[in-house]
Amino acid sequence: MKTMMTLAAALAASTATAQITSEDDATFGVDSITRDAGQQLDFLDLTLSTNRSFNDVSTQFGSGGEFEGWRHATMIEVGTLATNWGFSPAIPQVNAPMSFPGDPGTLDGLVALLGQTATGNNSSLQTYTASIGVTGTDQVGVLQLTVQLRDFDDPGVGDLVGVSNIPDAGRSPASGHYLVRAVPAPSSAVLLGVAGLAATRRRR
């Protein structure tokens, strides 16, 4: 289902989305990764880390940890992901206001790709689905920044990139964690296969 939604959204969106794909992971399963080729980063689905605190998740990055090899994304990396999807401008700054205005562009499909963590409505009762996640950028003391990507269901309503914060020990069932890793290098077996194919073509 997620893959079908990704394909449909990609066809309808700008060519910028071609660099953002859904990938499988040996540990977390099918379609658990959103790959941003522009940043050479893999984003783990937010739904795999909901209702957990920054203090909890950040202890799981080391050898043998649940999120070994991952780290918290920065707010800028999340904003750049949205920009690479075609939603522009969408790069929040640390000292900027807590939220950013709606944009004529769309986050349609990206929320489904990253994992929907919440639904809601604004003051005008316009409904949205959202991908909300903690980043690794401290705002003030023991407060961690969270970034919200809000995809409004109502036609003609600009989507929203919002920023809020949560205590290091705080957790919410409506918020996961933006976790990233560098895109893994191709395995030696894959490289050998490509080399063999190239050699076969040259002999022809």
pLDDT 10s digits, 154-204: 877 888 888 888 999 999 999 999 999 999 998 644 444 444 444 444 444
Q: What is the mean pLDDT of the chain?
A: 83
Q: What is the mean pLDDT of residues 81-104?
A: 72
Could you report the per-residue pLDDT of 25-44, keeping only the tens digit for each? 999 999 999 999 999 999 99
Question: What average pLDDT does range 104-127 have in this prediction?
Answer: 90
Higher-confidence residue of 106 and 33: namely 33
Residue 4: band (very low, low, confident or very high) from pLDDT cuts 50, 70, 90 = very low
**77-103 mean pLDDT:** 75
C-alpha distances (whole Å) from 162 to each of 56, 101, 132, 150 are 24, 8, 9, 8
How far is the CA of 150 from the CAs of 39, 87, 135, in angstroms?
22, 11, 16
Q: What is the pLDDT of residue 103?
A: 67
* Residue among 56, 84, 80, 69 at smallest CA distance from 144: 56
- Span 100-104, average pLDDT: 64
What is the DSSP-derived secondary structure letter of residue 104?
S
Beta bridge partner(s), residue 159: 103
Mean pLDDT of 57-85: 95
Sequence-ordered list of residues with C-beta below 8 angstroms from that of 24, at least 6 positions apart, any chain? 30, 31, 32, 33
pLDDT for residue 99? 61
- Using pLDDT thresholds of 50, 70 and 90, give the confidence band for residue 114: very high
DSSP 3-state of 89: coil
Determine the pLDDT at residue 138: 83
Query: Is residue 12 pLDDT above 70, yes or no?
Result: no
Segments of 142-202 assigned E as strands:
143-152, 160-167, 176-177, 179-182
Tell how far CA 35 is from the center of its chain.
8
Q: For residue 2, is pLDDT > 60? A: no
**In this predicted structure, what is the pLDDT of residue 58?**
96
Higher per-residue confidence, 51 vs 201: 51
